[in-house]
Structure 1
């Protein structure tokens, strides 16, 4: 016996895209409604796919944004499911705990909201002839230190059992349901763990898949790529198929643009360079490459992109930005006016200046300067994997990467191996640039 269901989480209704926009154009309306559009697409997918039921693993609302608009919108979506006899099983997380909830509308009877005091077991379609069991528990307060999962105790595994948790999978954390991934993997009476809280889609595959669908719509540059949910086919033998359904109408991108050429000296020059780069920006990467998870619509297209432009390179345009504090603002204004009419539209969230002044070619200085030659020789030692591995052993990982987005601080740099390699390369380039500039003056 198998069931087919939609797994979603972290809707964050009531929140907005942090895109710094004003006005009343169609583009701005698309940005303002993006979160609601993405959630509506989730429910539309459930209806089109004719699922048996829907599971939502916490944070339906964002903080204090459980507004009349958010409540009535969600009520309307659940009523669409109810009209087709599709039940929904909902838990609440740290952004919408039951203890601080204000309900403005009544949800249909087909929506089961998990209790915050005790774990609950629900039967689909009913207890008399169950085809699946769904276990869950909501947050009582914003910080939830109860493990919860220990008391998810199905009577047997003859039908699919699904566990619903809003957790960061941190066994030592005391705020977001402490539990280790290995703890969930050892509970062999649960066939699928429907999780929420982590905002990027990820699936830990195995005999008992553990899945985060991520946010349906990214709201800032730290939530890049397509958002969505999962369509899951599951049976009691442990067989499963997971299909990712992209829903976000807007995708965030950070794009590096090299403006260090001699013919890039003015604001219009930079505009033209950005427009040229736009033609070669690849589509969002498949977050499930190398896994058994498929994407429902590989040719899925977005309505628009919100871009952060990182300007790099050494050239004359650096002086333009350095001599006029309004230059970046003017470039941002022109990009917003010029790119918004594209299809898909492109909205400029910000422009970051990381340019430098023109420098002589390092190759031209090689052999003529003992200090530069010695530095180049030292830098070459770091090009090999063995040398970098020794460096990591001596330096260590100064900043540990943070998995839970709630724990990320703006003054911390999560240091991964990839970022350490990038820092080494950038340090070498920066020192060489400074030496070359000093030799040229």
Structure 2
């Protein structure tokens, strides 16, 4: 009976820009910036330790066009460690490293094999009776169903389909090479090694259809443990698989409902409990944590008035749990209970609403926000507002603070 293991990884995104983090410690920021490379080094360590027979990378080795050759040289250095151990690698181009996007090249070891991008191609490993079928992206846009042109399975072999795809769609990812699980199943292969979706997911078990997720989260939209999978094959069938977690810097989102908290110390205790849950399996990694406070509470005004102090208190709570947990941002989604209005002798609420709607005041507010944004550390995700909220939300918060302080 033939038994072997292979590595299935995807979405390395080497060269990905530093996004979504604003912390005060430069060393922590540097560790996040280096994390995608550290994750790949750890992945190769895991593959060598597991003595895999071969490795499959299902797209997006790179994040896009290189600014210099250092990205290609780093991948060459790490993949060469497998080659020197006699482990071949089979690499498919995804939308981020399509032929039309990454035009620079670094000569890779002969043991690294790239799937064709103009049509589906097949690699056969006769000693293992394995056939790998795949088609990379010639251009960043791949709107057609590529699976329909994949070849028939090789008889008497363990057949692996390799594809970079969104399947029928994913809320967090653009649509590329769309297809259904039934389309994949119709090819008659034994395993589908997918890429593109950054969440780990087993989409089907007969045959196994797997997204390993990306190696390293790059923003608060990519939370939790990240890594790849090692698949065990026995006598021509999948006998099992295991996730290998290789991320070095983790993102977390802690949502905390403080509706039942009587005071700020009680709310902070609840936040600290949630942070402990998020950091429970952190190990030697560092973590960027976003805290979102929710609920209907009379504490809302006090929290708005002391948001900076609250952030410091939460950071202190995080460090009591783990010295490598760093607060990325505090988001407030709180509503206040209804209270009787205070009589100021005039309609304060109406006056503030009129002021916030004034075009001149809005222009001044946007200018101030823009000036502050230029002084912030680089790191917001491209589609995030520089201060974490849009102009309307910031003005509304400022108006509420004025009203709170006016009430004394």
Q: Which TM class, normalised by the smaller chain length?
A: 0.7 to 0.9
Q: Distance in 2 between matches of 1:336 and 1:65?
A: 36
Q: Distance in 2 between matches of 1:215 and 1:174?
A: 15
Q: Which runs of 5+ in 1 are unaligned?
A: 285-298, 361-408, 411-441
Which one of the candidate residues 136, 139, 142 is aligned to 1:138?
136
Q: Tell me if structure 2 keeps the 8 A contact 1:9–1:196.
A: yes
Q: Distance in 2 between matches of 1:272 and 1:150?
A: 55
* 1:287-333 Cα deviation digits (max 9, x unpaired): xxxxxxxxxxxx773513222111234445322244x3xx3345335
Q: Tell me if structure 1 keeps the 8 A contact 2:65–2:103.
A: no
Q: Distance in 1 between matches of 2:88 and 2:69?
A: 23
Q: Does 1:7 align with 2:17?
A: no
Count of matched residue positions in the alignment of Structure 1 and Structure 2: 337
Q: Does the residue aligned with 2:142 lie in a helix, a strand or coil?
A: coil
Shift of 1:75: 1.0
Indicate the residue corresponding to 1:343 in structure 2. 322
Q: Does the residue aligned with 1:36 lie in a helix, a strand or coil?
A: helix
Q: Distance in 2 between matches of 1:236 and 1:168?
A: 31
Indicate the residue corresponding to 2:208 in structure 1. 209
Q: 1:43 to 1:121 in 2, by over 3 A?
A: same
Shift of 1:3: 3.2
Q: Does the residue aligned with 2:222 lie in a helix, a strand or coil?
A: coil
Q: Tell me if structure 1 keeps the 8 A contact 2:66–2:102.
A: no
Q: Does the residue aligned with 1:38 lie in a helix, a strand or coil?
A: helix
Indicate the residue corresponding to 1:310 in structure 2. 292
Which one of the candidate residues 275, 278, 297 is aligned to 2:275?
278
Shift of 1:37: 1.7
Q: Distance in 1 between matches of 2:225 and 2:298?
A: 36
Q: Tell me if structure 1 keeps the 8 A contact 2:8–2:56.
A: yes
Q: 1:35 to 1:333 in 2, by over 3 A?
A: farther
Shift of 1:66: 6.4
Q: Distance in 1 between matches of 2:295 and 2:206?
A: 49
Q: Tell me if structure 1 keeps the 8 A contact 2:231–2:238.
A: no
Indicate the residue corresponding to 2:195 in structure 1. 196
Q: Distance in 2 between matches of 1:86 and 1:270?
A: 53
Say which is worse superposed, 55-64 or 310-319, in terms of deviation. 310-319
Indicate the residue corresponding to 2:38 in structure 1. 37
Q: Tell me if structure 2 keeps the 8 A contact 1:159–1:236.
A: no
Where do residues 343-382 of structure 1 align in structure 2 (5 Å cutoff)? Answer: 343=322, 345-357=324-336
Q: 1:283 to 1:22 in 2, by over 3 A?
A: closer
Indicate the residue corresponding to 1:397 in structure 2. none
Indicate the residue corresponding to 1:428 in structure 2. none
Indicate the residue corresponding to 2:146 in structure 1. 148
Q: Bigger relative contact order, structure 1 or 2, given CA contacts below 8 A and separation 6+?
A: 2
Shift of 1:48: 0.6
Where do residues 315-330 of structure 1 align in structure 2 (5 Å cutoff)? Answer: 315-322=297-304, 324=305, 327-330=306-309
Q: 1:262 to 1:86 in 2, by over 3 A?
A: closer
Q: Distance in 1 between matches of 2:15 and 2:174?
A: 27
Q: Which runs of 5+ in 2 are unaligned?
A: 340-382, 385-408
Where do residues 16-55 of structure 1 align in structure 2 (5 Å cutoff)? Answer: 16=17, 18-22=19-23, 25-55=26-56
Q: Tell me if structure 2 keeps the 8 A contact 1:8–1:56.
A: yes
* 1:163-211 Cα deviation digits (max 9, x unpaired): 110011129x9951132110111222x1111010111111133331111
Shift of 1:51: 0.5
Q: Tell me if structure 2 keeps the 8 A contact 1:13–1:62.
A: yes
Indicate the residue corresponding to 2:102 in structure 1. 101
Q: 1:16 to 1:192 in 2, by over 3 A?
A: same
Q: Distance in 1 between matches of 2:146 and 2:326?
A: 42
Q: Tell me if structure 2 keeps the 8 A contact 1:11–1:59.
A: yes
Q: Distance in 2 between matches of 1:230 and 1:66?
A: 30
Q: 1:330 to 1:69 in 2, by over 3 A?
A: farther
Q: Does 1:84 align with 2:85?
A: yes
Q: Distance in 1 between matches of 2:315 and 2:234?
A: 50
Q: Tell me if structure 2 keeps the 8 A contact 1:27–1:340.
A: no
Q: 1:35 to 1:321 in 2, by over 3 A?
A: same
Indicate the residue corresponding to 1:186 in structure 2. 186
Q: Does the residue aligned with 1:355 lie in a helix, a strand or coil?
A: strand
Q: Tell me if structure 2 keeps the 8 A contact 1:19–1:306.
A: no
Q: Does the residue aligned with 2:43 lie in a helix, a strand or coil?
A: helix
Indicate the residue corresponding to 1:177 in structure 2. 177
Shift of 1:62: 1.4
Q: Distance in 1 between matches of 2:161 and 2:67?
A: 25
Q: Tell me if structure 2 keeps the 8 A contact 1:7–1:56.
A: yes
Indicate the residue corresponding to 1:434 in structure 2. none
Q: Tell me if structure 2 keeps the 8 A contact 1:13–1:60.
A: yes
Shift of 1:86: 0.8
